[in-house]
């Protein structure tokens, strides 16, 4: 087990990519706090599946773009476990609109959920990670952070901001043995992408060298690697999990 007895927080973990990461961590021996904002039954299902792996699973329903709720979430983990080894900043929303259609309210909402939440959660675990001698922070970015794409300026900007946040935190936290990395997936087969038309699916798959959508477990395996001893000498990096859709 690559993550035996590690303690992890995964935001947005009731479904999709976050759920896959939480379950992959549990299978590798970690205890996991599952953060979510809604979807109570899906969150409880994720909790049960983590427990079925023989691991502790905490549920925290809360908005990680709100500093007081982030503080309460971290305090729950520390009260239960006494330490936090891994933080995965996965919570996010998408917004499909052209620059002409995007409003100031759209911009503020997406940046708050996708980028501010990662800052707040990362900042909230730093004191603990410094005291315990290290930790791992993994930010879930996107291929559109580098390529632009059709998702819209709010989403692309928030995900590009996560890469900048990753590099800055990695630089400043390296002396404390806190490793900070990002994962940039392309289209992963989750509910968030159901807005795409059949024609858009066909075009994307045709333009992807591996000729398929990503599976949430493709990304979860990358997260396990970064959180494990395999990632001991990696910080400030962005790992592309995109089937070759974008190569830089």
Q: How do the domains of the chain map onto residue ranges?
A: 7-241
Residue 36 a catalytic site member: no
pLDDT average per 10 residues of sequence, the chain (248 residues): 97 96 98 96 98 98 98 98 98 90 96 98 98 98 88 92 98 98 87 66 79 89 98 98 83
Cβ density class 172-199: b for 16+ within 10 Å, e for less: ebeeeebbbbbbbbbbbebeebeeeeee
Q: pTM, whole model, 2 decimals?
A: 0.94
13 contacts 37 by C-beta, under 8 angstroms: no
Active-site pick, 155, 176, 233, 246: 155
User: So what's the pLDDT on residue 191?
Assistant: 66
Contact criterion met (CB below 8 Å) for 14 and 182:
no
Helix (H, G, I), strand (E, B), or coil: what is residue 224?
helix
pLDDT of 213 reads 79
- The angle, 0 to 180 degrees and rounded to 10, between the axes of the packed helices 117-132 and 153-173 is 20
pLDDT at res. 193: 60
**pLDDT of 219:** 95
Question: What's the pLDDT at 242?
Answer: 87
Q: Please give the pLDDT value at position 49.
A: 98
Q: Tokens 């007895």 identify what position?
A: 5
Superfamily covering domain 7-241? NAD(P)-binding Rossmann-like Domain (3.40.50.720)
């Amino acid at each position: 087990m690559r993550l035996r007895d590690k303690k992890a927080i995964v935001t947005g973990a009731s479904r999709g990519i976050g759920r896959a990461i939480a379950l992959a961590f549990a299978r590798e021996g970690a205890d996991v706090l599952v953060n979510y904002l809604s979807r109570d039954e899906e969150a409880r299902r994720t909790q049960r599946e983590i427990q079925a792996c023989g691991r502790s699973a905490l549920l925290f329903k809360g908005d990680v773009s709100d500093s007081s709720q982030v503080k309460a979430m971290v305090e729950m983990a520390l009260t239960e476990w006494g330490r936090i080894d891994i933080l995965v900043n996965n919570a996010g929303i998408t917004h499909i609109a052209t620059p002409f259609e995007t409003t100031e309210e759209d911009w503020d909402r997406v940046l708050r959920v996708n980028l501010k939440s990662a800052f707040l959660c990362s900042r909230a675990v730093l004191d603990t990670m410094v005291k315990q001698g290290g930790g791992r922070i993994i930010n879930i970015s996107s291929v559109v952070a580098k390529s632009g794409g059709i998702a819209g300026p709010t989403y692309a900007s928030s995900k590009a901001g996560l890469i900048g946040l990753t590099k800055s935190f990695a630089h400043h936290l390296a002396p404390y043995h806190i490793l900070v990395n990002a994962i940039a997936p392309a289209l992963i087969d989750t509910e968030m992408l159901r807005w795409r038309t059949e024609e858009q699916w066909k075009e994307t798959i045709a333009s992807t060298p591996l000729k398929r959508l990503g599976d949430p477990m493709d990304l979860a395996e990358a997260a396990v690697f970064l959180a494990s001893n395999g990632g001991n000498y990696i910080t400030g990096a962005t790992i592309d999990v995109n089937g070759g859709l974008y190569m830089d």
